[in-house]
Amino acid sequence: MTSKQSTKNRILDAAEALFADRGFAETSLRTITHRADVNLASVNYHFGSKKSLIQAVFDRFLQGFVKGLDAEMKPLEASQVAPSVEQVLHTLVKPLMTMDDRRHQGSSNFMKLLGRAYAESQGHMRRFMQEHYAAYLARFTSLLHRAAPDLTNSEMFWRLHFMLGTVIFTLAGSDALRDIAAADFRESVSLEQTLERLLPFLAAGFRAQPINSLKNVS
Amino acid sequence: MTSKQSTKNRILDAAEALFADRGFAETSLRTITHRADVNLASVNYHFGSKKSLIQAVFDRFLQGFVKGLDAEMKPLEASQVAPSVEQVLHTLVKPLMTMDDRRHQGSSNFMKLLGRAYAESQGHMRRFMQEHYAAYLARFTSLLHRAAPDLTNSEMFWRLHFMLGTVIFTLAGSDALRDIAAADFRESVSLEQTLERLLPFLAAGFRAQPINSLKNVS
DNA sequence: GTATGTTTCAAACAGTTGTTTAGATTTTGT
DNA sequence: ACAAAATCTAAACAACTGTTTGAAACATAC
């Protein structure tokens, strides 16, 4: 079926890198194909359109990510005892790390991409993810519920998204932050260290006592 | 000096709204000038270029924001007793609220914009903010330091940015989240309620015990 | 070998982009 | 009222966008 495996992947690689540090609209097909060293028309031939290319880039990443996430979640799901919030959050670390150094490019290419996608085009990507990867989100949510059974569903929902925001945002801008930190504190931190720094913050926030007031007249 | 106050502001208003829900690159000057009902060339005449327009939009917002923030921080700075983390974070609420309904457009226009700007163009905006509004950031950081004196500078730095990420990210996508929450839990929440929900999360995260392990062999 | 289907390629397409120009119109200072 | 400066306007500019085309090159099968 596929004679040359390369072209399609060359395009995906180039697109992923360029999207990450320029944005979607700011990256032209000509730039992509030039970097991939393929003909301009190939992207339309192989993917149909630029929009489909973007989706393809995401799919390739997310499939790799959820495969790793699945492996991490399974033992927690199988266990009889309820996991801690930290344990649940920790399922994200290894998959993120793997995704990070699978790409050759210096640092977390893809997180920038995710951050962009989330900000871009009125939540179009948020919807895409929630449709295509709803099952994994449900499993993750379920684990969190076991870890913190006293939180209401509504509160869970919000805090899950708070955490999601923090992770994506931090990882998306992590090189910039790392540079500043390196300059100001003479500490050089790896992605893993950033994640380990992030988890206690998230876990504590997630477990925080919900608002007591707001309408404390009762 | 200024004969007609309108044109420049009409452009700013239109640009702000359009940038917020389409993105910068995705919004053309023609779309802006059409919505503002002014001539295409006016934006180049008044602002010089599209890039300058973007900066002008931000400056207008940020100046309003820091004015409100300043008013909120002053009493805390004047007080002899150290503020709580919650109190410090609460200085953000009113300015954000004011900025939100100053604009006529339905919901938090500008937070989307901020979210975009942060994601966009390799932290170019992050740098801009840190340069132009460094004084306010320093005061805020100083307050936080009084509220949690036992945190190291390095840890402070990271957690400040964690919080920043959560706020921007949440507020940027808040309408989408509110829609989902409304559908799933039949609860309709205002921006203020979202913020009040956010603060305990942030405060708890900020106060969390830093990583003890990472290299717990000692 | 020819035939068949797939992939690559250069060129052109139609449309949009930000910016500039030069002339009209309006506002301002005196 | 007049001159000068500021503002607005329509039109055109060159550059770039994603996509399409039709022929060339390639691979595979018979």
pLDDT at B30: 96
Q: Give the pLDDT mean for B72-77.
A: 97
pLDDT at A35: 95
pLDDT at B15: 94
Band (pLDDT 50/70/90 cuts) for residue B121 is low
Q: Could you give the 3-state DSSP secondary structure of residue B148?
A: coil
Q: B185 and A153 in contact by Cβ < 8 A?
A: yes
User: Is the per-residue pLDDT at B114 higher than 90?
Assistant: no
Angle between helices A50-78 and A93-102 (to 10 degrees): 140
User: Is the per-residue pLDDT at B169 higher than 90?
Assistant: no
Please give the distance of CA B135 from its chain centroid, rounded to a whole number.
16
From residue B107, how far is each of A183, A190, B20, B99 by CA, in Å? 38, 38, 11, 10
The nearest CA of chain B is from the CA of A21 a distance in Å of: 6
pLDDT at A7: 93
Name every chain A residue with its beta carbon within 8 A of the beta carbon of B208: 200-201, 203-205
Q: Which residues fall within 8 angstroms of residue B201, CB to CB, at 6 or more apart? A: A159, A162, A205, A206, A208, B166
Q: B184 and A157 in contact by Cβ < 8 A?
A: yes
Domains with residue ranges and CATH for chain B: 57-207 (1.10.357.10)
Which chain B residues in 5-64 sit with Cβ < 7 A of strand D? 6-7, 38-42, 45-46
Q: B214 and A198 in contact by Cβ < 8 A?
A: no
pLDDT at B122: 57
Q: Is B182 on the interface with A (CB under 8 A)?
A: no
Q: Please measure the distance between the N-terminal and C-terminal CA atoms of chain B and give it in whole angstroms.
A: 70
Q: Is A216 on the interface with B (CB under 8 A)?
A: no
Q: Which helix or strand (DSSP H or E) is residue B194 part of?
A: helix B191-207
Residue that the structure tokens 């930190």 belong to: A181
Q: A203 and B200 in contact by Cβ < 8 A?
A: no
User: Is the per-residue pLDDT at B66 higher than 70?
Assistant: yes
pLDDT at B112: 76
Q: Rounded CA gap, B84 and B90, in Å?
A: 10
Q: B173 and A126 in contact by Cβ < 8 A?
A: yes
Q: Give the pLDDT mean for B98-113.
A: 64
The nearest CA of chain A is from the CA of B124 a distance in Å of: 10
pLDDT at B102: 59
Q: Give the pLDDT mean for B105-126.
A: 66
pLDDT tens digits, B49-59: 999 999 999 88
pLDDT tens digits, B185-212: 877 777 888 888 999 999 999 999 877 5
pLDDT tens digits, B126-154: 677 777 888 998 999 999 999 999 998 88
Residue that the structure tokens 């910068």 belong to: B24
pLDDT at B108: 58
Band (pLDDT 50/70/90 cuts) for residue B213 is very low
Q: Rounded CA gap, B127 and B134, in Å?
A: 10
Nucleotide nearest to A26 (CA to C1'): D17
Residue that the structure tokens 């992030």 belong to: A198
Q: B169 and A165 in contact by Cβ < 8 A?
A: yes
pLDDT at B85: 94
Q: Rounded CA gap, A93 and B199, in Å?
A: 25
B76 in Cβ contact with B87 (< 8 Å): yes
Q: Could you give the 3-state DSSP secondary structure of residue B31?
A: helix
Q: Which of residues 129-148 of A touch B (CB under 8 A)?
A: none
From residue B83, how far is each of A28, B150, B218 by CA, in Å? 50, 14, 36
Name every chain B residue with its beta carbon within 8 A of the beta carbon of A126: 173, 176
Residue that the structure tokens 């966009």 belong to: B120
More confident residue, B43 or A180: B43
Q: Give the pLDDT mean for B169-181.
A: 76
- Tokens for B26, please give them: 């995705």
Nearest Cβ partner of B154 from A118, A185, A200? A185
Q: Which residues fall within 8 angstroms of residue A47, CB to CB, at 6 or more apart? A: A11, A53, A56
More confident residue, B213 or B87: B87
Question: Three-class SS string for chain A?
Answer: CCCCCHHHHHHHHHHHHHHHHHCCCCCCHHHHHHHHCCCCCHHHHHHCCHHHHHHHHHHHHHHHHHHHHHHHHHHHHHCCCCCCHHHHHHCCHHHHHHHHHHCCCCCCHHHHHHHHHHHCHHHHHHHHHHHHCHHHHHHHHHHHHHHCCCCCHHHHHHHHHHHHHHHHHHHHCHHHHHHHHHHHHCCCCCHHHHHHHHHHHHHHHHHCCCCCCCCCCC
**CA to C1' distance (Å), from A186 to C8:** 51
Q: Rounded CA gap, A17 and B105, in Å?
A: 36
Buried b (16+ CB within 10 A) or exposed e, B25-36: bbbebeebbebb
Q: Is B157 on the interface with A (CB under 8 A)?
A: yes
User: Is the per-residue pLDDT at B107 higher than 50?
Assistant: no
Residue that the structure tokens 């404390």 belong to: A216
User: Is the per-residue pLDDT at B33 higher than 90?
Assistant: yes
Q: B206 and A202 in contact by Cβ < 8 A?
A: no
- List bases in chain D with any atom under 7 Å of a protein Cβ: 6-12, 16-22, 27-28
Which residues of chain A carry a pLDDT beneath 50? 1-4, 106-107, 213-218
Q: Give the pLDDT mean for B3-26.
A: 85
More confident residue, B173 or A202: A202
Q: Which of residues 68-107 of A touch B (CB under 8 A)?
A: none
pLDDT at A148: 93
Measuring CA to CA, which residue among A21, B201, A14 is closest to residue A29?
A14
The dihedral over CA atoms of A3, A9, A14, A17, expressed in degrees to the nearest 10, equals: -170
Band (pLDDT 50/70/90 cuts) for residue B120 is low
Q: Which residue of B has its CA nearest to A122?
A: B21
Would the Cβ of B2 be found within 7 angstroms of any atom in strand D? yes
- Tokens for B28, please give them: 């053309």
Please give the distance of CA A65 from its chain centroid, rounded to a whole number.
8
Nucleotide nearest to B44 (CA to C1'): C19
**CA to C1' distance (Å), from B174 to C1:** 68
**CA to C1' distance (Å), from B120 to C18:** 19
Name every chain A residue with its beta carbon within 8 A of the beta carbon of B126: 173, 176
